[in-house]
Structure 1
């Protein structure tokens, strides 16, 4: 795990700005300003304020989704080119060394882990500011567009948008923990990741709201209750397992987790083998999958379109879990094998 230092920076009374310094592969600390929650709240407030004041109409966004996707495709290609050219010009120690290289592979997967241009960490910018903030803003626009058209918001649309906004806000609140994930610390950033943040996260993830705007429907109260329960269970698993993981990483002697069982690894670290991670090996991914399906179910079963993002998300997280396990097997050896023996299920107890 990368060394991490967190400190609070002085700022306005309503802003708590967190600066997280993570030690990069060159041994130097990389500084991040984790203020995405404040940026999202301000952006959303301005958007809604302009809408209430009649300055902005949400349909200007929702009626031009395909044009926006096309424009974002071009922008993502341009930004990927900028990042690639920067990595070719700047020879840094966080450059990725692959067995198989080439222009196309390096352009697609990236040559650097944490490229910085004009003082901006490009990976944090694309993942947080573009991907998740764009997703939240577009979801709000779908809800406002339905109100513009019908004079009110339907219950299915309300469920989808509220569920997705809760997920994105939780992501912003816990932004610092994202900076210590394998995706952030070990993987390069290239065209595929940048395009995913410009297109997949904001547009594909909001497909259920897009579907409901064009094919409105109503659902029964029992269905609403069951969907809310599914989302609540998923959110609880996702949130508390991440809290336990982050707490264990920062301070294994913390009284809140000191009673949990661990396995010693040859690396000098310990593997958590009880609590949420004694239930399944990737409880946070399980919670993520449950929430994704919960905000898709309000769309009913008349069309497969709103379910495509949920299927993709499930496949991606299963693949990521397998990749993480391969990396852990290589890193921890017999300790990881023992962990898998004691916690045999990856995502679903007694099933998978």
Structure 2
């Protein structure tokens, strides 16, 4: 795997935890096992027929893991930033970095539980539609093509850039409580696959050409999302001296994913704030969040306009991202002071270029 150090953790005496980012080989091994199992045992497509049972297991398991991790924080004396209110602390968590030896459970669950499961459920819906329609790929609902490509690209991006996850706010600061655990084990796989199951069972009208148009939108969105996240995270790695070029098999490595001569402003805090790349070009501080919202829109468009249900995720996620954007802006303004004002003058928009 790709070995990476996290950010200094105050509760661990400013220690930088080590991470073995081997999500990519785990991902490809998973796909090979799934292909074998489907080819010889016709097994993966059956998941599309067991949504209720799977949802029940995910909900139960997510709650059980939450209770276990919460109690283990007390038993192992790993509690951190506790409020004294058990309901709130259970929701937020008791333990920041639950580990078994060097195995980081929180990083593992962030992608390998949530997104692997989501992709497999969408794949099961696609395979079931493929079989029902006589194994004719051209008869598969166009929306399922959209979602299969979308969920594959997103999951693959998460594992090929797993080293970027270890320095995110979720890993560095958020404790592993019910909020994150339940979302990893149940929320993402259940909520994010509603559209896949809706299309499979309701077959909403969506002309083939419209489906291909949504795929075109999706690919453009993915390019901006992937490269903007890559620019931001690799810039930070360059400053910390931890950046390493990934080998050829870690694909796709897209053009403009690494800024050769990044431009940034230096702050009194000691950090540098990136003002070039997609952030400078768009004038938007959260261009990657905007692409996440467009992903949600495209997932909804894949299901047409016969029901509002496929757009629930868009409404939910837009609200969530807007709140996170405001939270991040407030936190950075407090942290950087006048330097943040300088940065905002150069990159003026929070989320939507020209509007906000």
User: What TM-score do you get using the length of structure 1 for normalisation?
Assistant: 0.88
1:24 aligned to which of 2, 5, 9 = 9
Task: Structure 2: state its 5+ residue gaps.
Answer: 244-255
Aligned to 2:149: 162
- In 1, Cα distance between the equivalents of 2:225 and 2:84? 36
When structure 1 is superposed on structure 2, of 236-245 and 21-30 the one drifting more is 21-30
Within a 5 Å distance, the mapping from 1:165-184 to structure 2 comes to 165-184=152-171
Task: Structure 1: state its 5+ residue gaps.
Answer: 1-16
CA-to-aligned-CA distance 1:233-264 (integer Å, 9 cap, x gap): 21121111112112211225999646443222
- Whether 1:89 and 2:93 are equivalent positions in the alignment is no
Number of equivalent positions:
332
1:341 aligned to which of 342, 345, 348 = 345
Q: How far did 1:21 drift?
A: 2.4
CA-to-aligned-CA distance 1:144-198 (integer Å, 9 cap, x gap): 1212322232222112111111111111111110111112101111012111111
- In 2, Cα distance between the equivalents of 1:261 and 1:72? 45
Say if 1:136 and 1:341 are closer, same or farther in 2 by CA, change over 3 A. same
- Whether 1:137 and 2:120 are equivalent positions in the alignment is yes
- In 2, Cα distance between the equivalents of 1:339 and 1:57? 49
**Partner SS, residue 2 of structure 2:** strand
What do you get for the CA RMSD once the two structures are aligned?
Answer: 2.2
- Whether 1:291 and 2:295 are equivalent positions in the alignment is yes
Say if 1:45 and 1:260 are closer, same or farther in 2 by CA, change over 3 A. closer
- In 2, Cα distance between the equivalents of 1:342 and 1:222? 40
- In 2, Cα distance between the equivalents of 1:86 and 1:150? 50
CA-to-aligned-CA distance 1:268-325 (integer Å, 9 cap, x gap): 1111123212220111111121122112212100001111112212221111122212
Within a 5 Å distance, the mapping from 1:260-271 to structure 2 comes to 260-271=262-273
- Whether 1:204 and 2:153 are equivalent positions in the alignment is no
- In 1, Cα distance between the equivalents of 2:286 and 2:189? 25
Say if 1:147 and 1:225 are closer, same or farther in 2 by CA, change over 3 A. closer
2:182 aligned to which of 165, 174, 195 = 195
**Partner SS, residue 350 of structure 1:** coil
- Whether 1:350 and 2:336 are equivalent positions in the alignment is no
- In 1, Cα distance between the equivalents of 2:130 and 2:219? 26
Say if 1:39 and 1:261 are closer, same or farther in 2 by CA, change over 3 A. closer
Aligned to 1:328: 332
Say if 1:251 and 1:125 are closer, same or farther in 2 by CA, change over 3 A. closer
Q: CA contact under 8 A between 2:70 and 2:93: conserved in structure 1?
A: yes
Say if 1:63 and 1:225 are closer, same or farther in 2 by CA, change over 3 A. closer
Q: CA contact under 8 A between 2:111 and 2:155: conserved in structure 1?
A: no
User: What TM-score do you get using the length of structure 2 for normalisation?
Assistant: 0.87
